């Protein structure tokens, strides 16, 4: 008997009821998806396959829409360049004179820097490769500030790579698929970037809030920053290389120190991804767990072995029925712990099992910094 | 002929499918990275128009699931937490649906006030969920600008309501 023939055939729920049930079910599904999301983690597995698929589809669609806009912009620039060629020429001549002075100073500083490094035997930082791509999607709402670029894993981009514009740091890669990279901007609510004030070397965490000017949080010291101070990446934690230009410190209307980002003054449709490996990518986790301490002397090693695996207590022998039994006292009367079982390890010498490897790199030492901000 | 057409039930793809596609298309279009006179395009939440208009037009079983799908698309497309906009779109839909009988027969100004209230509710829910998810408060000014850009879409919502409110004789 089908349901249609049964007694339930006359039951008709009002549409508003069924619609309400549909709203509740859809709401529960949405809430479950929201709770299960792990957007804030910088792990490849947290960036789900559905996000990868959407990114891969959005790149050609966004690219097709953005291409005419880019062509139009290029045409306008060409026309503007033609009509303002003389004034631009004068500006460029003046700029060239300024840059020549900077070039001379840079040569002298580089020479001095190399000599000091040689004196101190400092490890030089390896150069960082970079790849350039187009931005095809730009999300700029208060709850998510991301961009989608048309370069992905086929160009060597991995999650965590820093992203720069021609003027300064833009953000970092949080999702990669073939032909697409999702970039979390510095202004995103989930973005936290370790930075320093160039003048005072004071550290802070650049905290995105969805607005155009992220906040400098966790600053310490008295007057560590002044308006106009240059803000650079500090390299702490190894996520970013040290010294990438971020912006300029400004005092916000709410009384908090904020940063006017250098990347705001650059074109938003081009980005450069630095193929920089962060601390977690560089460190061999297996090597971290291994012990490289020299072996202990045999006596200490044996003592530790006995501590970890104490010998079983001998079973008490039956009381002898003959005289002179006291001389053959049962072993239970003997001290239960042999003298040699006392740990002979010197204070401060940890057992090899618990020791940490002495060559564990610190985040700051493991993070190779570019010799200069990549431009 | 027109009498026969008006007597037909309204097909779901006409009042749910096509407007949803238009909203998705507009969302993609406004995400193009261009600057005009140094300013970027506004980024209104187009599907909030649907969230309000669909609830006013008629109760539906499909509409909440369509909003769920569009909300998930927004989250994946904009790179936000998955489920954020799905919840934020469903919240005003639920409120407007429950207040549908109160809204009927009211003036256009009152409907505008309801739309602004529904938009504010969606952004309020998004603000709270983001604060809980990220353990930080989004910039109120950034929220306000997107709210304003979305509130300015009321004529679109009004047009959608007027187009389909009386399209099915069973719901007159």
Give me the pLDDT at residue A287, please: 67
Query: To the nearest whole angstrom, how far is the Cα of B86 from the nearest Cα of chain A?
Result: 6
**Is B72 in Cβ contact with A66 (below 8 Å)?**
no
Alpha carbon distance A242, A363 (integer Å): 12
Are A61 and A179 in contact by the 8 Å Cβ rule? The answer is no
Are A212 and A250 in contact by the 8 Å Cβ rule? The answer is no
Is residue B65 within 8 angstroms of chain A, CB to CB? yes
Q: What is the average pLDDT across A353-372?
A: 39
**For every one of its 172 residues, what pLDDT tens digit does chain B have, with 9 covering 90 and above?**
455 555 566 788 888 999 999 999 999 999 888 877 777 788 899 999 999 999 998 888 999 999 999 999 999 899 888 899 999 999 999 999 999 888 877 888 999 999 999 999 999 999 999 999 888 899 999 999 999 999 999 999 999 998 887 766 665 5
Q: Which residues pair with A260 in a beta bridge?
A: A248
Alpha carbon distance A124, A140 (integer Å): 38
Per the structure block, which two tokens stand in for A210?
Answer: 């969805």
**Is A62 in Cβ contact with B90 (below 8 Å)?**
no
**Is B35 in Cβ contact with A146 (below 8 Å)?**
no
Contacting residues for B166 by C-beta, under 8 A, at least 6 apart: B172
The residue of chain A nearest to residue B87, with distances taken between CA atoms, is A30
Contacts of A18 in chain B (CB under 8 A): 59, 61
CB proximity under 8 Å: B 71-100 to A? 71-73, 75-84, 86-87, 90-91, 93-94, 97-98
pTM: 0.72
Alpha carbon distance B36, B30 (integer Å): 13
Instruction: State yes or no: pLDDT of A2 exceeds 60.
Output: no
Q: What is the per-residue pLDDT across A193-252, written as a single tens digit (0 to 9) for each?
A: 999 999 898 999 999 998 889 999 998 778 889 999 999 999 888 888 888 999 999 998
Quote the radius of gyration of chain B (alpha carbons, Å): 17
Q: In the A/B pair of chains, how many CB contacts fall below 8 A?
A: 187
Phi and psi, residue A65, nearest 5°: -75, -35
**Is B94 in Cβ contact with A135 (below 8 Å)?**
no
Upper half-sphere CA count for residue A14 (Cβ side, 13 Å): 6
**Is A29 in Cβ contact with B68 (below 8 Å)?**
yes
**Is A190 in Cβ contact with B134 (below 8 Å)?**
yes
**Is A34 in Cβ contact with B84 (below 8 Å)?**
yes
Contacting residues for A249 by C-beta, under 8 A, at least 6 apart: A197, A216, A225, A226, A227, A228, A229, A230, A231, A257, A258, A259, A260
The residue of chain B nearest to residue A190, with distances taken between CA atoms, is B134
Query: To the nearest whole angstrom, how far is the Cα of A356 from the nearest Cα of chain B?
Result: 34
Instruction: State yes or no: pLDDT of A362 exceeds 80.
Output: no
**Is B65 in Cβ contact with A142 (below 8 Å)?**
no
């Amino acid at each position: 008997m089908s349901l249609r023939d049964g007694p339930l055939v006359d039951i008709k729920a009002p549409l508003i009821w069924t619609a309400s049930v549909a709203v509740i079910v859809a709401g529960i599904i949405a809430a479950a998806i929201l709770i299960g999301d792990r957007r804030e983690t910088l792990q490849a597995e947290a960036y789900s396959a559905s996000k990868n698929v959407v990114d891969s589809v959005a790149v050609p669609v966004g690219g097709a829409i953005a291409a005419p806009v880019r062509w139009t912009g290029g045409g306008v620039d060409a026309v503007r360049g033609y009509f303002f060629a003389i004034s631009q020429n004068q500006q460029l001549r003046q700029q060239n004179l300024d840059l020549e002075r900077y070039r001379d100073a840079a040569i002298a500083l580089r020479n001095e820097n190399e000599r000091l490094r040689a004196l101190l035997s400092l490890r030089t930082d390896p150069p960082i490769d970079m790849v350039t791509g187009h931005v095809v999607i730009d999300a700029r709402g208060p709850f998510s500030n991301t961009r989608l670029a048309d370069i992905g894993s086929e160009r060597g981009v991995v999650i965590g790579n820093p992203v720069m514009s021609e003027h300064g740091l833009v953000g970092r890669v949080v999702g990669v698929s073939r032909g697409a990279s999702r970039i979390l901007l510095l202004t995103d609510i989930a973005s936290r970037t370790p930075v320093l004030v160039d003048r005072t070397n004071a550290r802070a965490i650049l905290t995105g809030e969805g607005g155009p000017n992220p906040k400098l949080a966790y600053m310490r010291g008295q007057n560590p920053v002044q308006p106009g101070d240059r803000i650079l990446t500090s390299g702490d934690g190894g996520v970013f290389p040290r010294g990438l230009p971020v912006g300029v410190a400004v005092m916000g209307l709410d009384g908090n120190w904020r940063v006017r980002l250098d990347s705001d003054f650059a074109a938003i449709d081009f980005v450069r991804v630095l193929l920089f490996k962060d601390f977690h990518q560089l460190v061999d986790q297996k090597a971290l767990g291994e012990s490289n301490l020299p072996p202990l002397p045999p006596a200490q090693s044996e003592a530790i072995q006995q501590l970890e695996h104490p010998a079983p207590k001998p079973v008490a022998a039956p009381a002898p029925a003959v005289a002179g039994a006291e001389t053959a006292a049962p072993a239970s009367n003997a001290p239960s712990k042999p003298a040699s079982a006392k740990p002979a390890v010197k204070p401060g010498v940890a057992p090899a099992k618990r020791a940490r490897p002495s060559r564990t790199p610190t985040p700051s030492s493991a993070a190779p910094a570019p010799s200069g901000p990549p431009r | 002929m027109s009498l026969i057409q008006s007597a037909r039930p309204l097909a779901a793809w006409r009042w749910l499918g096509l407007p949803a596609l238009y909203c998705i298309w507009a969302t993609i279009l406004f995400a193009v990275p261009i600057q005009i006179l140094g300013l970027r395009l506004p980024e209104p939440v187009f599907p909030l128009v649907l969230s309000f208009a669909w609830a006013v037009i008629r109760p539906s079983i499909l509409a909440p699931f369509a909003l769920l799908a569009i909300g998930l698309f927004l989250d994946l497309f904009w790179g936000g937490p998955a489920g954020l906009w799905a919840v934020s779109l469903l919240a005003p839909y639920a409120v407007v649906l429950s207040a549908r009988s109160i809204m009927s027969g009211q003036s256009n100004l009152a409907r505008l006030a309801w739309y602004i209230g529904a938009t504010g509710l969606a952004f309020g829910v998004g603000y709270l969920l983001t604060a809980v998810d990220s353990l930080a408060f989004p910039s109120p000014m950034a929220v306000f600008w997107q709210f304003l850009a979305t509130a300015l879409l009321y004529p679109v919502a009004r047009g959608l309501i007027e187009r389909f409110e009386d399209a099915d004789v069973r719901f007159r």
